[in-house]
Structure 1
Amino acid sequence: MSNSGDIGFDEIASPVKMGNRLWSRTRGDKVIWAAVLLLALVSVLVVYSSTGLLAYKMNKGNTEIYLFKQIVFIAIGLAVIYFSHLVNYTVYARVARILFLISIPLLIYTFFFGVRLNEGSRWIRLPIINLTFQTSDLAKLALFMYLGRLLSKKQDVIKDFRKGFLPVITPVVVICALIAPANLSTALLVGATSMLLLFIGRASAKHLLLTIGVAAVPVILLVTIALSYYDSSEGRSKELPGVLSVGRLPTWIKRVQNFVYSNKEIDKDENYQVNQAKIAISKGGMLGLGPGNSETRNFLPHPYSDFIYAIIIEEYGIIGGAFIILIYLIFLFRCIRIFRKCPYAFGAFLALGLSFTLVIQALINMAVTVNLFPVTGVTLPLVSMGGSSFLFTCLAIGIILSVARNVEQLEGKEPVPEVKA
């Protein structure tokens, strides 16, 4: 730098050089990296658009505060992906059981002492930093890490019910049972993804069908109750007896009723969220209203999280919505490619399990928005406004990229030691 205080070329070029060095150390599937960056860019645009009114009301006219928060979350999330992808994925096999065992008491603590909202307790508040996080996010991640570890160890006996299937299905039942009272949709998502992973992991179809049959009993019972306690002539739910008014049960019954009878004219107020989402989609048409031009964001509840896909379609049209689906499908395809190329069972199951849960969650979120599925409350991964769920999603992607990085090393004839799970 010159004595006059002018900034020299080296100072200007140093951030570029640092970025180049950082990129040169970045490994893993470049298509997955591109998908993550595209979804992060979409997230910045849509979160900023959908939080304008909320920011104005909550922060005395400062409409950029949530934009800055989202940018900070994305920056932290990308750092989480980067550093977690540098870790050899076999390390995650060592910590999988520990994380799984930690998640069980955390879920129990959350159920009794967590932050309560709408009769459900899903979050715990961290001391000192005063930040809440959803313990089911940690439990999901820990479960699929542990499930990948178990499947890799039990391949020789996986067809045997007592020696193979029972040890593998038990952690799934435990986690789903602990998540379900406060978050039934997440429990069903985890259960369905686990069944799919077990099927690919060569578990007996007979054992899987038996498990699905047992799990379907309470779901069928819930739907039956919801249909029985609906007055079609009045267009509203009947008064529930005391035994059906415990915890989140009335909410689940109401959501099933709203979904089944969503086309009834009298149900407009009861199904307000879905109806506003339909309005947003109809306004978007094929090409959309343009970035930042959403009109429904001021009426649609939670347009920055649960129903952010409706805002995407309203502003970017059906083409924009289809583009988002395409990104998730490309992400899944590349993860399946990692699964097929990984020579070690743990890495293969780990990449597949984590990718399944992210993509299935995305598809369910979008299905809710277009009224193909009852309202669930699950977010759109990497797109909805940041929180603990966003960071755990980034950690899951970092672990997938860790597997991809080691696959690349093997393809480059660089031996990577496999640690016994």
Structure 2
Amino acid sequence: MTDTMRGTALAKRSKMADRLGRGSQSPLATWFWEIDRVLLLLALVLIAIGLVAVAAASPASALRYSDGESRVAGMYYFWRQAGWVAASLPVMLGVSMLPIKAARRLALLGTAVCIACLLVVPFAGAEVNGARRWIGLGFMKFQPSEFLKPLWIVTTAWLLSFKAKDPELPVIVITGALTAVIGALLMLQPDFGQTMIFASVWVILLMIAGISPRAIGMLGGAGVAGVVAAYFFYDTARIRIDSFLFPDPDKAMSDHYQTDMAHATLTGGGITGTGPGGGQAKFRLPEAHTDYIYSVVGEEFGLIACAIIAILFLAVLVRVFVKLLDEEDAFRLLAAGGLASQLGVQALINMAVNTGIAPSKGMTLPFISYGGSSMVALSIGMGLLLAFTRRNPYLKRSPYSAKWKGG
């Protein structure tokens, strides 16, 4: 390297350092020092693991769904996922730079648009595997419920934050009605798994907002009653529960067959796995690249890798909630807590299905499973989470003097 080239490189490095310096007032520098870089790193690690996992599952899914077409051979799903990751990362970083008010407005508008799309899905949506959950846009499809989840959480957090200003406002009833409408639209698709996520996160948000233990008990009772009612009056729920609890040995593709196959694949590699590309059970596993990718990870990389993924999701939850211990703004507390909880609940459901302790629900593993809508929507959600956990490093906070300011 010549002296001129070395001098140019040093000048560029110095210029970047000036832009990101603590004394700089540029938007990029402000974002760099306020962002939770540990949380960002955890998200990037999960995305990287997801690419490796999709690469492992891609040959099995390509063989199952190729129908003899050479274009869907080998690493087809991996390269598509890599493209979605490349498109999603700028979205995540861009959303994380939004001011709180702009992020809230984005969520409110996005919630209205996504609910309107949900109204259309049962009648004009694209049908895949017997369910209408997608809207086709020519060369691609998108799933409105995936995008609705993070936007609805922020909207619900905003509404519940008014409880801190005026406890008499009927925000619990309003948010409950909104959640019920979304749940009814999802069950028309049908999508019982997503309905469970919306209901679970709503209850978590109410707990964060500080509802009474008596109200929590009443909600728990209502939840049990809802599941019982779904069993008797909602065919999709009854079929899945019956298939799981009372499997039919003559029905090779029952839900219990899928969960049994997932468990066998998950444990087939032992502690350390068969090694990349060494798995064989994955070729008999339906939806290896989406719903059951956790099992593919277990077969090829071992139960240790599965444990690491679970620990990473737990680390995200712990990181967010520890950071929120001294949060003074009700809206930010609820929004960040809800977004983190959604990741945790969805990951928990997927892992429960893969380990055979819950019936099949068609639930992807956040950032790990293949899917364009899922990856972009999760990136929006993580971007919002990063935006709501940004902190001025010079602002001192005390948990003893915390006082909610509302949204």
Same fold, TM-score > 0.5, yes or no: yes
What is the TM-score when the length of structure 1 is the normalising length? 0.82
The superposition leaves residues 307-350 of structure 1 with CA deviations (integer Å, 9 ceiling, x where unpaired) of: 00000111111111111100000000111123223321111111
1:143 aligns with 2:128: no
Change over 3 Å in CA distance of 1:148–1:117 after alignment to 2: same
Shift of 1:260: 0.9
1:193 aligns with 2:204: no
Cα separation, 2, equivalents of 1:17 and 1:64: 41
1:152 aligns with 2:137: no
Shift of 1:15: 10
Report the more deviating stretch, 361-370 or 188-197.
188-197
Match of 2:180 in 1: 173
Change over 3 Å in CA distance of 1:47–1:29 after alignment to 2: same
Residue identity opposite 2:44 in structure 1: L
Unmatched runs of 5 consecutive residues or more in structure 2: 21-27, 398-403
1:163 aligns with 2:173: no
1:210 aligns with 2:218: yes
Unmatched runs of 5 consecutive residues or more in structure 1: 3-7, 226-243, 413-417
Cα separation, 2, equivalents of 1:133 and 1:392: 10
Match of 2:25 in 1: none
Change over 3 Å in CA distance of 1:185–1:18 after alignment to 2: farther
Match of 2:237 in 1: 252
Q: Which one of 334, 338, 341 corresponds to residue 353 of structure 1? A: 338
Shift >4 Å, 4+ stretches:
8-25, 264-269
Match of 1:49 in 2: 56
Cα separation, 2, equivalents of 1:105 and 1:390: 21
Number of paired residues?
384
1:83 aligns with 2:94: yes
Shift of 1:265: 5.4
1:221 aligns with 2:234: no
Residue identity opposite 1:221 in structure 2: A
SS for the counterpart of 1:302 is coil
Q: How does 1:197-346 map to 2 (within 5 A)?
A: 197-223=205-231, 225=232, 249-262=234-247, 269-270=253-254, 271-346=256-331
Report percent identity of matched pairs: 25
SS for the counterpart of 1:385 is coil
Match of 2:135 in 1: 124
Match of 1:134 in 2: 143
Cα root mean square deviation, aligned: 3.1
Q: How does 1:379-390 map to 2 (within 5 A)?
A: 379-390=364-375
Cα separation, 1, equivalents of 2:46 and 2:368: 6
The superposition leaves residues 232-283 of structure 1 with CA deviations (integer Å, 9 ceiling, x where unpaired) of: xxxxxxxxxxxx7xxxx44432211121135x75565533312221221231
SS for the counterpart of 1:51 is helix
Cα separation, 1, equivalents of 2:72 and 2:14: 39
Residue identity opposite 1:103 in structure 2: C
SS for the counterpart of 1:154 is helix
Match of 2:24 in 1: none
Match of 1:64 in 2: 75
Shift of 1:403: 1.8
Cα separation, 2, equivalents of 1:148 and 1:342: 14
Residue identity opposite 1:125 in structure 2: G
Residue identity opposite 2:147 in structure 1: L
Residue identity opposite 1:44 in structure 2: L
Shift of 1:211: 3.9
Shift of 1:167: 2.5
Contact 1:133 1:388 in 2 (8 A): yes
Shift of 1:89: 2.2
Cα separation, 1, equivalents of 2:330 and 2:53: 39
1:92 aligns with 2:77: no
